[in-house]
Structure 1
Amino acid sequence: MTSSALPGPDAPTTPGMDAAATVRVEQAGLDALARALEDPAGLGGAFEQAVAMLLGISGRVVITGIGKSGHVARKIQSTLASTGTPSLYVHPAEASHGDLGMILPGDAILAFSNSGETTELGDIAAHALRTGQPLLAVTSKASSTLASTATLALTLPAMPEACPMGLAPTTSTLMQLAFGDALAVALLRQRGFTATEFGIFHPGGRLGARLRTVGELMHTGAAMPLTQPDTPMRDVIMEMTHKALGCVGIVGQNGALAGLITDGDLRRALDQDLTTTLAKDIMNPRPLTINPDALAAEALQVMNARKRPVTALFVLDRAGIPIGVVHLHDLIRAGVG
């Protein structure tokens, strides 16, 4: 175990000093990891091989580890699964008692062990050798049993633990976690995984709400406030009042959106003779619009983009024809705002 850079356990410190020193030691570990990943002759090259290997399998990434490394492995498995890489966690001890059956042909095994000498991983490693399944070992000991057994060894830099005794896994587990995140993001990018796909795997909570599409939230059909350019303002006001979305879309003869009138436009036009004014006289010919596949979070961003925020957006198809209206209140009710 590499000794810690923190003061010894008996050295006088304050909680704040301990906290800052801990962060600095762990930050040094992350800096060392970043440098190692940039080395094509070392960890960087192995990382490239790992990404290619995991993209090439027909099955899942089976992730394993025990103790603190096991907790990290579970988190990485969750991140992989939610970003388009099918995966599952197998506990090493349970694997020795029947759970090896969870590892199927076409799977690859990703094992985490800082020392590389975790005895509980032995049966999983032996299983990989018997079946010829790829075994990727994430460890800080290149000469360890696990690294020498693996199809591909991913050796992290050996850095001091933040524990003043150099015993409790701290820096090492943070580096494992960062490495797993880097692997998940690299696989995400290589797969072309989109925000829409991410939303499918995250339907709950505020994040799920922000990843819903405009098409799921918009008002459609008869609920859309629409009229023509030559409509008298009296009728425009009636349409706006009846549909209660604070705006009216103006459509041309081809059905495409030609402009927009909001309740703010009405207030600004009060100095005109509304008995003779037509919709085309006060409409905004370049309104903000959005497409139905846009995320709800994007719609909120568009609404807030101007100095004078808008409260509703017309949703157009590719021909520019209105197919819906999304209102700020719809976004708020969905939990986006």
Structure 2
Amino acid sequence: FSLNHILILIEMPQYCPTKRGVILVVASIFFLHATLMEKIESRNLIENPSFLLDKDEENDNVVTNYQPPDSSVKKPVMYTFFEPTKDKYGCCGMSHEGHNTLLGAWKEAWEDRGWETTVLTKENAMDHPDFDTLTAKLQDLHVGEYDTKCFWRWLAMATIEDDNEEGLWMSDYDVFPLQLDAEEGRKIANDRAFKSFSRHVPCLINASKHEWDRVIHLMMDQLENRRGKVSDMFMLKQVEQSLGMSGMNWSAEVADTFIYSKNITDGLFINCKHFSWMKAIHLSHAGVQKAWKLGIHPNIEGIRGPGTAIRRRGESSIQLMKDFHQQCLG
């Protein structure tokens, strides 16, 4: 029915005023519902162009060139850094159990894509000759435990021998692989230059031992002229602002939140084509909060808000990797 049809009906003489009123009420409800649904769909199409993909379009997005890791080829190593806090309640919005679950999920995800994984600790950082110097500087600046450990990981990476003349990979343990499998990792590592794949956010980096050492010293030099909060992320950004790129290569190839899209009938799904060029995904505190706000956080029993979602990132990352494999890797 159109609006003109309704007007004709209520003017017909065989309808008494009561019937005309009923027709008018029903028609009003119909048009309000139609208008509301149109606005909802329009809004979702603007915010998320993949919102209305149907099943056939989703299936077309599957990445069909996925190959299982070749067991006969030496695996590249993905390093991360983790030093447990002495606080019995954990750190950074997560319990000890939450950190361990997340670390286990990180290890499983990278190894499933053909990598070896190694967790570095404070002991590795202490092997660097400038460990005491850097730690003393950070203490003088009243830098907290969490951010101090973030600087230590750079020293730890600069102590690793790279006899194979390839760049060394490091990721945060809340970074998970999308298109970055072991084969691509080996190819990228042939270029030993400093490469950050999330710009000044140092969550996924490949560089030679020499480059790891060179860049951490550039950051240490900037501590004297710090601007605001001291963290490895902000100091890396300050290096770029003060000295230019300084031989570093930055790109934006890491998704900063969950990669789900909304479908009217089936809920959340992954639009694989949209992320076919993304190397990894960073499920940081901010990324989890963003996903919760957008309504694209996976449905995990017992997670009812962003705080719980942050504490249980390990569980949601496992679900994400499962969905990514099923929907995008085939």
Shorter-chain TM-score above 0.5? no
Smaller-chain TM-score range? under 0.3
Larger Rg: 1
TM-score by length of 2: 0.27
Larger relative contact order, structure 1 or 2 (CA cutoff 8 Å, min sep 6)? 2
TM-score by length of 1: 0.26
Structure with bigger helix share is 2
